[in-house]
Structure 1
Amino acid sequence: MRFTPHVTVATIVEDAGRFLLVEELADGRAVFNQPAGHLEADESLIQAALRETLEETGWEVELTAVTGIYLYTAPSNGVTYQRVCFAARPLRQRPDHPLDDGIIAPRWLTREELVAQPERWRSEMVLRCIDDYLAGERFPLSLIRTPA
């Protein structure tokens, strides 16, 4: 059996104690996730994070740091994901920007509001990334190397 992990990005966007989340449909239920998605061919991790955030929330953001690199195997399907999570600050909302299929809407929630609804997390990575961000985990964007 061939092991092929999926490379994904996620973005923690915080504003005044609220976090930009995506309410989306996954396996027939509405769940919360960070703006996140798969790395595409010929795309850097930074480009992927900016693109996914805009496509899923309609928000343009400025990436400020890397909060962590995570390995996660989904119990539902056994797929392993390598998630690179970025911290970002919101720049501007583009309310007319079309959102990806399956996205219900962007939502701004506090950590407490998210903790009160664990059944709505896409995975436990949602809270883990926020908690790492709140704990001050910040690595410079220069950690991410791109070809010269």
Structure 2
Amino acid sequence: MARIEHFNDPAAPKPNSIVPAVTVHVQDADGRVLLIRRTDNGLWALPGGAQEFGEYIAETAVRETLEETGVTVEVTGLVGIYTNPRHVVEFSDGEVRQQFSICFRARYVSGDPTPSDESSAVAWVERAALDDLSIHPSMRLRIDHGLDHRVKPYIG
């Protein structure tokens, strides 16, 4: 399913859903952050996705990271909660979702970066290389907050 990100766009369609979702900020021993290139929009992003019934939200973070990257992680903390009502995602099935994403910090446990149906590429990326990638501004905010190791989680 295709998606279009609307960010601070006065012409954006009105949202018709809010879905609890996660992103996961994990770094390797060299400080590189794990990113995927999404198959639905071609942008680079932290791994993540929607919570499923019967799941604790931290389980969502572990499951989505494994599904999208082939990497197993352990949740260790919170980067932030991202709920900007001026960021909506329009899906090709008619859903228009207002952003609601919890970004977790996680520790690498095992696995090798491997693409999936949701990720055309998976890579450990150095901070200096981030500007060379196509990353949505909302996602870049989460990445930067994670790399900055903020004392308190972002709430916004």
The alignment's TM-score, normalised by the length of structure 1, stands at 0.77
Contact 1:65 1:139 in 2 (8 A): no
The one-letter code matched in structure 2 to 1:79 is R
1:75-134, CA deviations, whole angstroms, 9 ceiling, x for partnerless residues? 563521210001111111057x8x5423213111112211222xx22x222211121122
Name the counterpart of 1:107: 123
Count of equivalent residues: 133
1:41-81, CA deviations, whole angstroms, 9 ceiling, x for partnerless residues? 11111000000000000001111101100114445635212
**Distance verdict in 2 for CA 1:75–1:2, change over 3 Å:** closer
For structure 2, the 5+ residue unaligned runs are 1-13, 91-95
Of the candidates 6, 13, 17, which is equivalent to residue 26 of structure 2? 13
Helix, strand or coil at the partner of 2:53:
coil
Deviates more, 1:71-80 or 1:84-93: 71-80
Of the candidates 19, 24, 31, which is equivalent to residue 43 of structure 2? 31
Helix, strand or coil at the partner of 1:48:
helix
Q: Where in structure 1 do 4 or more consecutive aligned residues deviate above 6 Å?
A: none
Name the counterpart of 1:128: 141
Calculate percent identity across the aligned residue pairs. Answer: 30
Contact 1:35 1:52 in 2 (8 A): yes
Counterpart check, 1:85 vs 2:77 = no
Contact 1:66 1:87 in 2 (8 A): yes
Contact 1:66 1:138 in 2 (8 A): no
Contact 2:21 2:49 in 1 (8 A): yes
The alignment's TM-score, normalised by the length of structure 2, stands at 0.74
